[in-house]
Amino acid sequence: MTDADSDGIRVASPVGRWVVLTTVLGSSMALLDSTVINVALPRIGQDLGTDLAALQWTVNAYMLTLAGLILLGGALGDRFGRRRVFVLGVVWFAVASLLCGIAPNAEVLIAARALQGVGGALLTPGSLAIIQASFHPDDRARAVGLWSGLGGVGAAVGPFLGGWLVDGPGWRWVFLLNLPLAAICVPVALRHVPESRDPDAHGRFDVLGAALAALALALVTYALIEVPEQGASLVVVGSAIGGVVLGVAFVTVERNRAEPMVPPSIFASRQFTAVNIVTFCVYAALGGFFFLSAIQLQVVAGYSALGAGTALLPTTVLMLLFSASAGDLGRRIGPRVPLTVGPLLAAAGMLLMLRVGENASYVADVLPAVLVLGLGMVTLVAPLTATVLAAVDTGRAGLASGINNAAARAAGLLAVAALPLLAGMGPEAYRDAGEFASTFRRAMPMCAGLLVAGSVIAWWTVRKPREARQEARPECTMHCGVTAPPLEPERGPRHT
């Protein structure tokens, strides 16, 4: 069999295997950092002498730039070459990871995390876009399945590996681990991955729209994180107002530009709009849960970093084993029931975490909570992605997936910023087991409430897509990682 024919590469060929390998390695870099950072937070705080706000920014600086720039990153790949932008993203991510690993203080670490998000926005959309553009149409589903399965293995290993690194050589190796991955990924990509572009991609890039979205999120996030320490100071109030003003400006710009990053017309689909609201509720709850639970297990329950990472592993294992089946079920019965039942199950799992306190038993207290949570995620995640893509015309599936992805990232970002404020966590709460435990008990019902809200919205608004739109469903319904958002777009919007 030849490596490729006129329609693309074959998976069974040597080149096909190299392409799958490099896309898995690239996407795994961003995935590993998002799954292991939470278990490293208490140790980072102790080592650098930081408060809770700095730990929030350690998570959110990455999410902020990634959420604000991911659509722009996909469009850059379509215009200038998906391999070129992917490789640039991997190198950028690796350099930023090195800066994270050698950061002497919290300020440098936060700035480096923001740079990591920029690299993630360049490389993440490219992984699936390269597969879509490179492989023969008959082999694309198999290639995506391999990408998803291997990435899922990485997601399952991530928390365990992160905990081992934190307890062993130290938290800095959580970031330095990306360097050997990049050292393998870049030369393989340059040698074996064919370059591809969208010949119809033209017009201006919506840099203004991306900048307004990122700045609006940044200002609102700053206000939410800093208000516990600074109170209603002029800077905090000004940031909140500025964020709202820039958010309104973003909507106005997108409505009036000839080639917007987020075309308002896509929200003409009532189902698409509703499912994105459900996405926001679900991923806000999940983002807050995994941020707080990793600290609760270590600070209050007395787990090591490795123990905390391993404790949450069943959610990922359940996703790996049953997400494909859940996607098939959603296609047969329609998305309304899975998107209603799934959030309720996940909410029940979060409420069960209220039993996890000092010296909690893993089998009696932690495991039931993460199993119920995992069942909820299995039930809802794959149908959620499929419904987003089926709600729009096939030609806009990449754009729809990108918007949904950005919504999920932004939801997690705002949850990590807002939950400690709403739960009354002080700047030093993560250092005091009693204080953190009491605020954790207030935060979990809030997360569960978001999921219940998402369930109610899904029940009242989501309907089975028309058969004519079923071809827009994703070839891969797996979410690689317990906190991972919906599938990245196969391609960016043509006009950005």
Q: What are the tens digits of pLDDT across the range 181-207?
A: 999 999 999 998 888 877 766 667 788
Per-residue tokens: 481: 């990682």
Q: Is the pLDDT of residue 485 over 60?
A: no
Give me the residues paired with residue 4 across strands. Answer: 9
Q: So what's the pLDDT on residue 201?
A: 63
Max mean pLDDT among 191-195, 271-275, 325-329, 449-453 falls in 449-453
* Cα angle for residues 379, 289, 48 (degrees, 5° grid): 145
Q: So what's the pLDDT on residue 494?
A: 39
Per-residue tokens: 102: 């050698």
The predicted model scores a pTM of 0.82
Q: Is the pLDDT of residue 472 over 80?
A: no
Q: Is the pLDDT of residue 4 over 60?
A: no
Burial-class residue 12 by CB neighbours within 10 Å (0-12, 13-18, 19+). exposed
Q: Is the pLDDT of residue 343 over 90?
A: yes
SS3 content of the chain, % helix, strand, coil (to 5): 80, 0, 20
| DSSP-derived 3-state class of residue 105 | coil
Q: Is the pLDDT of residue 362 over 70?
A: yes
User: Do 369 and 355 form a contact (C-beta atoms < 8 A)?
Assistant: yes
Reference 341, options 233, 444, 459; nearest CA is 459
User: Do 296 and 42 form a contact (C-beta atoms < 8 A)?
Assistant: no
Compute the average pLDDT of residues 429-439. Answer: 90
Residues in CB range of 313: below 8 A, 6 or more apart? 156, 159, 160
Lowest mean pLDDT among 128-132, 230-234, 316-320, 348-352: 128-132
Tell me the one-letter amino acid at 99: L
Q: Is the pLDDT of residue 245 over 90?
A: yes
Q: What percent of the chain has pLDDT over 70?
A: 88
Reference 403, options 417, 419, 388, 415; nearest CA is 388
